[in-house]
Structure 1
Amino acid sequence: MASNKNTLAPLVPKEILPMDWQDDERMSFLLSAFKARSLNPVSYDAKLKFWRAIIEDYCSHCNQIVIDEALLKRAFERNGTLPACLSTVIESLKNDGKLIPLEEMQKMGYHGQSWAAWTTDKLLKNPASFAANKLWSALGYDSSSSAQLTSQKLICIPALKAHAEELLSKMCPDHSILHASSEVMLLADVLKDKPNKLFAELAIMWLCRNNQASVEDNVSPALVKFGPNAKISDLDRQTISLQRQETLLTRKLHELEAEKEKCVVEASNYLAKGMRPAAKNSLRKKRELERRVTQLSDSLTNLHLMISQLSESESQAQVIGAYKHASASLKAVYKETGLSEDNVANAMDDVEEALELHDEVKTMISKPVGPAVASIDDDELERELADLLEEPEGPGPSDGGMPDFDINKLPNVPSSPVGVKTLETQYSQI
């Protein structure tokens, strides 16, 4: 595992500092040591809440995963004054599982308990040590054990969790999809490009304990695979073995090509000196190197083909796995809802019967009701309609209807304005 280097604490960013930080009187109280809680429980709890929140924000914002009391004191120094209350705050955070000792995490390694199981054991089954340390500090006693706690390296779990999730998103972008996983990788390759290898190691440990990664470190070299419930299979081991052979062959090919060029240069130098036998020996060596290069190239081509086939078989296995899960889900749905071929056929028959019944009811409702209506004969109605068609057209003037008039008998249009009496006279003449 990577070693832990005690680096200087980064400065606290101004954006996470609360308003109280600018208040000298308020900060004088907050930087002082805790007094007995019984004297002023409200003030005690407010002070504890202040420091818990600012320490968590500081660790997450600055990606400060490993801390100790001395580092926090340097980080929160204000106008030359160091906080004297952090031991109580640290114990409170340890009691809640927000801080855990670095050595405990490293002892469990990649294959320790799950995070939930570890938290249960520490905070529920074995809380006595936490309570004893807190009581010891509250009484104001100091001992070699309590003094040692001030330099104890602790892991800030919220900061570690954020760092681990960032690493998971980078290594396995599809980690939100069920059964998605990354390719198997060498653990050393994952750690070598990280600015802080210890933080990266701890992040992978956290992912392993939350079933988001899998590490196989009982072989050399150690392997890692990222993703939900990721498991390193025999296929993964074979793939990584072929990839390592591919790397070795490629490196060997470059070396042979360099030797080949060197032989050509030697042959030219020997010819310039008139040493033809030596020049021929250099060319013979070049021919032998060319033969070996051809063999290695063929082997490398075969390796590429095998790696491609393994990758294709893995993809096919994932597709088949997806088919199996989908089929199981469909069967579960059919089982829960009672869907079957017979049930569907019976349901469709019921629907047809219901529709037929609906049509019959609609027909029954639309039939005329009552004895008077029922006694009328359709033949009588037809004869009555025929009699109506044979009757003469509408009445003439003798019947009091509108009189017929001749358009030629209409008076001429007057050439001068016409009064009301004139119109009445002309109308009476029509």
Structure 2
Amino acid sequence: MEDSEMRSYLPGEWGDPERMQVLMGPLPHRELNHVAHTARVTFWSAAIHSWCRAALRPFFTLAECQGAFRRGSQIPVCLPQVLQLMMRQGEIVPMNQLNFTDHKQETWVGWGCRVLVVQPAHMLWGNAVLQEMCGRVVETVWDKRSSHTLLITLKDLHSLVREAVGTLENLELVVKTLVAQGRAATVLHHGTLYVKFASPGDAARPEVLPEELAKSDLREARKRVERSLKALEEEREALRCQAKIALSRGAKTEALFLLRRKKRVDKSVVTQLGVLENLVSWQHHLDDVETNRQVLGALKGGVEALRTALAGDTSPDAAATTLDDLQQVLEECEDLNALVSSNPVAEDLTGLEDELEGLLLAAGEETRMTGEAELEPRLPDVPTEPPLPTSAVPAPRLSL
């Protein structure tokens, strides 16, 4: 392992040769030197946990642990004893004690691997590291997945949480742990392992429903059909272009052959489009089934709530009171429905719009009449008395 990779988990004392010379030695007896014994165990326990977190190792072997802390040609001599003490304290657990497989369903190959390979290798499991991985996997799934069912294949799940678990082998151990804790469920369907996670805060063990598997099959089939359609579209366009080029060269026979191939591709496209339409229709049907199941669950919850409300007092008066309350609620709902169906607001708005239109027309007519009146010249009134003679008119006086 390179130094750049080792710096991510090695303790600060690693750069002190004299200190590391002491820590790499044998573990002192606890009765003889209690302080040195405790300090040595504390140092290596923290170093092992740091290594497991940095390298994403929920399980390891003694040889792998010694190789991770090799210092030149020197390996920690006290590591076997330290790991034994960590097992006694429950920090790590022997792998053979964490058997998640049902022996009744175990194959001969699995039995041979478990008995002849896993147990003799004394593989160890970092309990704290694995629990942290489980928590990160669940959080990542709920953050990045929008589906409420959270049914996902193991391969897609690894692509989703690769940064949290590292290898696929680590993810398999995480999933087995979550299943054992009741936080996930797995099912093998058509050779593919599916994983379903429990909802946050739900203490019930999740159950994979047949409808969910059917929806997953439809999604996979739809993806395959869409990929096939895309390839057929590209092939059809390529054949059209090749036929056009052949015609430009005067090769009519070749162009006719290419057009015949294009016609067969067109028929395949029509067939695939029909299949895709059927798949989409079935997906809608399954969505309706899920919606109906949710509505039915809500109704069942209402019935249980009603039973709980009636459980305290089963007298005829209590039942009558409850029925009266329900009838009142139903009447209010009917009133609201009638109010919405009659839509009095729309009628009022219609009347107001008619009245407003009439006012606008009247105002326009009045304005027009006023404007015409202002444009007409105003003549003086006709005199009723005869005009005076010129001599009778007094001459104006002038003042200097």
TM-score, normalised to structure 2, is: 0.61
Residue ranges of structure 1 left out of the alignment (5+ in a row)? 1-5, 114-147, 348-430
| In 1, Cα distance between equivalents of 2:66 and 2:289 | 56
Residue of structure 2 in register with 1:163 after alignment: 133
Shift of 1:287: 2.7
Shift of 1:234: 0.9
**SS of 1:52's equivalent?**
helix
Contact 1:172 1:227 in 2 (8 A): no
Contact 1:10 1:75 in 2 (8 A): no
Q: Does 1:213 align with 2:184?
A: yes
| In 2, Cα distance between equivalents of 1:343 and 1:73 | 78
Give per-residue Cα distances to partners, 1:12-52, cap 9 Å, x unaligned. 547x847x778877665543322443334565345434433
**C-alpha spacing 1:275/1:108, structure 2 compared with 1 (3 Å):** same
**C-alpha spacing 1:330/1:78, structure 2 compared with 1 (3 Å):** farther
**SS of 2:100's equivalent?**
helix
Of 221-230 and 38-47, more deviation after overlay is shown by 38-47
**SS of 2:27's equivalent?**
coil
Residue of structure 2 in register with 1:272 after alignment: 248
| In 1, Cα distance between equivalents of 2:2 and 2:168 | 14
Picking from 61, 68, 71, the partner of 2:64 is: 71
Shift of 1:303: 0.9
Contact 1:9 1:75 in 2 (8 A): no
Residue of structure 2 in register with 1:154 after alignment: 124
Residue of structure 1 in register with 2:6 after alignment: 11
Contact 2:57 2:129 in 1 (8 A): yes
Residue of structure 1 in register with 2:78 after alignment: 85
Contact 2:151 2:196 in 1 (8 A): yes
TM-score, normalised to structure 1, is: 0.57
Contact 2:94 2:124 in 1 (8 A): yes
**SS of 2:77's equivalent?**
coil
Shift of 1:293: 1.0
Picking from 254, 263, 270, the partner of 1:294 is: 270
Residue of structure 2 in register with 1:108 after alignment: 100
| In 1, Cα distance between equivalents of 2:86 and 2:92 | 6
| In 1, Cα distance between equivalents of 2:173 and 2:122 | 17
Amino acid at match of 1:191: H
**C-alpha spacing 1:53/1:330, structure 2 compared with 1 (3 Å):** farther
| In 2, Cα distance between equivalents of 1:112 and 1:212 | 22
Picking from 193, 198, 219, the partner of 1:227 is: 198
Contact 2:58 2:129 in 1 (8 A): yes
Q: Does 1:251 align with 2:251?
A: no
**C-alpha spacing 1:267/1:53, structure 2 compared with 1 (3 Å):** closer
Amino acid at match of 2:242: E
| In 1, Cα distance between equivalents of 2:320 and 2:230 | 74
In angstroms, what is the RMSD of aligned CA positions? Answer: 4.0
**C-alpha spacing 1:329/1:154, structure 2 compared with 1 (3 Å):** farther
Contact 1:214 1:231 in 2 (8 A): yes
| In 2, Cα distance between equivalents of 1:267 and 1:294 | 21
Figure out how many residues of one structure are paired with residues of the other and give that number. Answer: 297
Residue of structure 2 in register with 1:354 after alignment: none
Contact 2:185 2:195 in 1 (8 A): yes
Give per-residue Cα distances to partners, 1:53-107, cap 9 Å, x unaligned. 44234423553323333333344456975422111121222334432345665x6
Shift of 1:159: 0.9
Residue ranges of structure 2 left out of the alignment (5+ in a row)? 105-118, 200-204, 322-400
**C-alpha spacing 1:315/1:10, structure 2 compared with 1 (3 Å):** farther
Picking from 272, 285, 289, the partner of 1:309 is: 285
Residue of structure 2 in register with 1:59 after alignment: 52
Contact 1:60 1:158 in 2 (8 A): no
Shift of 1:250: 1.3
Give per-residue Cα distances to partners, 1:298-322, cap 9 Å, x unaligned. 2212212221331342244245335
| In 2, Cα distance between equivalents of 1:292 and 1:267 | 19
Give per-residue Cα distances to partners, 1:147-200, cap 9 Å, x unaligned. x97x6432212111111211111223499xxxx953322222223563422222
| In 1, Cα distance between equivalents of 2:42 and 2:96 | 27
Contact 1:215 1:222 in 2 (8 A): yes
Give per-residue Cα distances to partners, 1:302-349, cap 9 Å, x unaligned. 2122213313422442453355356546645764xx2557676999xx
Residue of structure 2 in register with 1:400 after alignment: none
What are the within-5 Å matches in structure 2 for residues 26-425 of structure 1?
29-41=22-34, 43-76=36-69, 82-102=75-95, 105=98, 108-109=100-101, 152-173=122-143, 182-192=149-159, 194=162, 195-217=166-188, 219-228=190-199, 229-325=205-301, 327-328=303-304, 331-332=307-308, 335=311, 338-339=312-313
| In 2, Cα distance between equivalents of 1:79 and 1:164 | 35
Name which structure has the greater RCO, CA cutoff 8 Å, separation 6+: 1
Q: Which has the larger radius of gyration?
A: 1
| In 2, Cα distance between equivalents of 1:265 and 1:342 | 84
